[in-house]
Structure 1
Amino acid sequence: MNRFMEVLENILMPVADKLNNNRYLTALRNGFMVALPLIIFGSIFVVIANFPFLDQWLSEDAYATYKSILDPASASTLSIMGLFVIIGIGYKMVEQRGGEAIYGGVVAVAAFLILTPKVVEGVSGAIPTALLGAEGMFLGIFTAFFAAEIYQYFVKKNLTIKMPAGVPDAVSRSFSALIPITLTLTIFLAVRVIFSYTPFETVQNFIYTIIQEPLTALGSGLPATLIAVLLIQVFWFFGLHGQIIVNSVFDPIWYTLNDQNLAAYQAGTDLPNIVTKQFMDTFIVGIGGSGMTLAVIIGIFIIGKSRQLKELGKLGAPAGIFNVNEPVIFGLPIIMNPLVLIPWLVAPVVIALITYFSMATGIVPKPVGVIVPWTTPPFISGFLATGNSVAGGLLQLFNIGVVFLIWWPFLKIMDKQYYEKEKNAAA
């Protein structure tokens, strides 16, 4: 066991360290965090607008009016979430380099809009909202990276207008950013013109055909999902925040799949994807945090005899209900503890399989695309994520039971060890 852990540590620690410190992945992660409040706002109103049985309680006209009042909340946030992510990435990219971060955000979104075709059903001058959401997400991410880097390059080359002393600071900053922004956006305009002479016609078509479509298909599959789940657990075992590391890579794919489900849900058509951001956040992470440790806390209350585990249960329970599990991760402990390695790695993989096949067979509805706040307690979050379906909540409760059974023998061993130590210490 020690040799196995040593090999894993030697292989994974350097990789995890590089991923954690990669400025592009850091900007990507933080860019999504900038957009998160807006995404949650839109998700809340999607849930309210599609509350169960409202279409039966209200008349057809009243229900249509009710929907028309609430729909702009999601249309102005969730449907164009890519735009907010782009701003966040551009902002964070320039902020990392000590530059004027706000100009990183605006140059990123301006560059993206330059590359975006402005034709909707033959009408010019209109931007298709689909390109500001799922379809445009990948292009938006790459555009934000490149635009921020190019802008910062011109700034570092001192291609700026220096205003004399006494000029208001806001005016001075604006003129200082003028030339770098102009040169950056000119490059993206040239890119747009070049692509107009290719078979793809637009950069969007190129990105979607060559990159986004294959990656999205891969990320929506069960094998890639299981690998992602397993990596989260392995990184956490070695003391690294597995979710941050893995989500930095997979979030663009999962959010795209999420957005596709949301569009289908709002249109009343079949949901295309099982694996989405909410599949991961609600049915795996959303059961007490990474590793679904709410079941571990329940197990501690049922079988715990040692004082250490009993105190841990009392400390961890309130936080665990809201999917915060640092007390368990550091108090059990889980990090570098060979006694918990097997259940820690196995349980999330088993739950991912159960959840996937429950949804694939239609026993439980697929996630509808709403972003449920990660602190929402189990059952409630499952109910909301599946379009107000009780089956979603019941699946979470069932999963808690499965995780409890997997952990049971290992908790018994650990509790026995702690109990014997406490007895010997008292003696």
Structure 2
Amino acid sequence: MQEESSKKGIGSFINQKILPPVMKFVNTRPIKALQNGMVYALPFIIIGSIFLILSNVPIKSVADALKASGWTAFFTQAYTTTFGVLSIWAVVGIAYVYVKNEGYEALPAGLTALSAFLMLQLLQTTSPLTTAIGKGGTGILNTAGSTVMSAHNVASHVSQLPHVLQTFVKSPITNVINITWLGGQGMVAAIIIGILVGASYSKMLKLGWKFTLPEQVPASVADQFTAMIPAGVILMVSMFIYAGLKTLMHTDLLSLIYKILELPMQGISDSLLGAIVIGFAVSFFWFFGVHGGLIVAAIASAFLIPNTAANAVLYHAGKLTLANGAHIITNEFYNNFINLTGSGITFGLVIFAVFMAKSEQFKSIGKIELVPAIFNINEPFLFGLPLVMNPFLAIPFFLTPLFVAISTYCMIYFGVVPPLNGVAAPWTTPAVISGFLIGGWKMAIWQAITLAVSVIMYFPFARRYDNYLLQKEQQKAATDDSETTAKD
């Protein structure tokens, strides 16, 4: 009784003191805009991942044939214009959702955010010659990606030019959009700009800062005039910010955000501590009946998706190693390990329920959960078994994803398995298949091992809970029989 009272006390404290402020934060306008706005990027991430695989086929003979035929370059073009411009989809989607949730015509706000995002960055890129002759330079490549002049030869030829020509050929190329900032490197800036544009655009419309045209004017035309003042103010402010940073600091807003915010935050998320926090947080919120996956994803995706994109760039360049800056914890680490077969990695419960359970409740829920679990969905267990607020299963529900997160981090850190390659396998991709897609055959084997770990960790607790349910069912059956006998 004392133990049960203690558990109720802890649950009451969590529900009254911890969850309300967390839920209040998660349901704020910016976080809802971030969460729902990023959904618009998913088709491009997944389709782009297919092109990423095709441009880096792991079978050498096939890869060489595609490279020689020129198809690798075509697949690279497709990858670059889908997955490679991830920040564009993010900044438009976030501003769009923010304004839409406020009840206004949202597309002009999304386009305004895109314009501001482009305006706040230096429209220049590094000279190809600088890249070719720099540290670890690639040399000059042909359209098929083959080296036609080594980095050493390029450097020796450039050094023979007059100094003024050397300076010219190595100067940045201006008046171009640098696609580096359109990918994962510009993601945090895209999130900030998308939220700020959505908030300020909505605020100005609420204050009545808009042209009101006669009713006779078609709605499609009137909507654009409505957007003119808020869009004009936002873009004017963006221009002054760009001008101030360019003049006074010789930089741009995206570079500052990347150095001051994104790099440190990626470092924190891409650490053993980050693995522990993420692995624990999902189960923690779910245990108290709150959708842990949505809460954690809404916050962590801001840093994990750029990690995925950065790994994809390295994988595409054939440089996917930790020494070259590859990240261990990516969005796929979260989706395809911490949430493997569903929050809490409940594969072990499925196996027990289908093959070893004796109670009718456990067996029937197991049959219902079997197919969804293949696609990483386990709501039937969370609410039907239930796992929510279930003290019998709390320990494996918390510890299994935590163990998998820590062990997977260590497996990558110590080079037993390679870093995740940046391919964004949909979270519903079945286990082992997703492992192969995101990290090759070694990762597929490791995923299979994590499933076995889930079986081992859940088994003793599931058996104890099953015996408890069986005892209750037998008691109920005995009570029903006695009542039937009494009636007869």
Interval of TM-score (by shorter of Structure 1 and Structure 2): over 0.9
1:138-217 superposed matches below 5 A: 138-199=188-249, 201-217=251-267
AA partner of residue 249 (structure 1): I
Match of 1:276 among 330, 334, 349: 330
Deviation (angstroms), 1:61: 6.7
Which residue number in structure 2 is paired with residue 314 of structure 1? 367
- State whether residues 46 and 426 of structure 2, in contact with CA within 8 Å, keep that contact through their aligned partners in structure 1: yes
AA partner of residue 476 (structure 2): A
Deviation (angstroms), 1:200: 5.4
Mapped to 1, the partners of 2:67 and 2:307 lie a distance apart of 32
Q: Matched residue of 2:424: which SS?
A: coil
Provide structure 2 residue ranges, at least 5 long, that are not aligned to the other structure: 1-6, 127-171, 479-488
- State whether residues 376 and 429 of structure 2, in contact with CA within 8 Å, keep that contact through their aligned partners in structure 1: yes
Q: Matched residue of 2:185: which SS?
A: coil
With over 3 angstroms needed to count, the CA separation of the structure-2 counterparts of 1:267 and 1:58, relative to structure 1, is closer
Choose 1 or 2 for highest CA Rg.
2
Deviation (angstroms), 1:17: 1.7
Match of 1:106 among 108, 111, 114: 111
With over 3 angstroms needed to count, the CA separation of the structure-2 counterparts of 1:327 and 1:187, relative to structure 1, is same
Would you say how many aligned residue pairs link Structure 1 and Structure 2? Answer: 423
- Map Cα deviations across residues 5-49 of structure 1 (whole Å, 9 max, x no partner): 333333321123213311111110111111111111101221233
Which residue number in structure 2 is paired with residue 357 of structure 1? 410
Match of 1:78 among 74, 79, 83: 83
Mapped to 1, the partners of 2:62 and 2:293 lie a distance apart of 42
- State whether residues 275 and 406 of structure 2, in contact with CA within 8 Å, keep that contact through their aligned partners in structure 1: no
With over 3 angstroms needed to count, the CA separation of the structure-2 counterparts of 1:365 and 1:63, relative to structure 1, is farther
Mapped to 2, the partners of 1:46 and 1:376 lie a distance apart of 17
Mapped to 1, the partners of 2:69 and 2:427 lie a distance apart of 31
Residue 178 of structure 2 is aligned to residue 128 of structure 1: yes
AA partner of residue 173 (structure 1): D
- State whether residues 55 and 73 of structure 2, in contact with CA within 8 Å, keep that contact through their aligned partners in structure 1: no
**Normalising by structure 2, what TM-score?**
0.84
**Normalising by structure 1, what TM-score?**
0.96
Q: Matched residue of 2:387: which SS?
A: coil
Which residue number in structure 2 is paired with residue 418 of structure 1? 469
With over 3 angstroms needed to count, the CA separation of the structure-2 counterparts of 1:47 and 1:177, relative to structure 1, is same
- State whether residues 87 and 182 of structure 2, in contact with CA within 8 Å, keep that contact through their aligned partners in structure 1: yes
Mapped to 1, the partners of 2:12 and 2:124 lie a distance apart of 57
1:9-408 superposed matches below 5 A: 9-53=15-59, 55-57=60-62, 59-60=64-65, 63=68, 65-121=70-126, 122-199=172-249, 201-271=251-321, 272-285=326-339, 287-386=340-439, 389-408=440-459
- State whether residues 288 and 295 of structure 1, in contact with CA within 8 Å, keep that contact through their aligned partners in structure 2: no
Mapped to 1, the partners of 2:379 and 2:63 lie a distance apart of 45
Provide structure 1 residue ranges, at least 5 long, that are not aligned to the other structure: none
AA partner of residue 75 (structure 1): T
- Map Cα deviations across residues 108-141 of structure 1 (whole Å, 9 max, x no partner): 1111111021012222111110101122111111
Mapped to 2, the partners of 1:290 and 1:64 lie a distance apart of 44
Which residue number in structure 1 is paired with residue 141 of structure 2? none
- State whether residues 82 and 133 of structure 1, in contact with CA within 8 Å, keep that contact through their aligned partners in structure 2: yes
Deviation (angstroms), 1:301: 2.0
- State whether residues 107 and 148 of structure 1, in contact with CA within 8 Å, keep that contact through their aligned partners in structure 2: no
* Cα-Cα RMSD: 1.5
With over 3 angstroms needed to count, the CA separation of the structure-2 counterparts of 1:57 and 1:127, relative to structure 1, is closer
Aligned-pair identity in percent equals 30
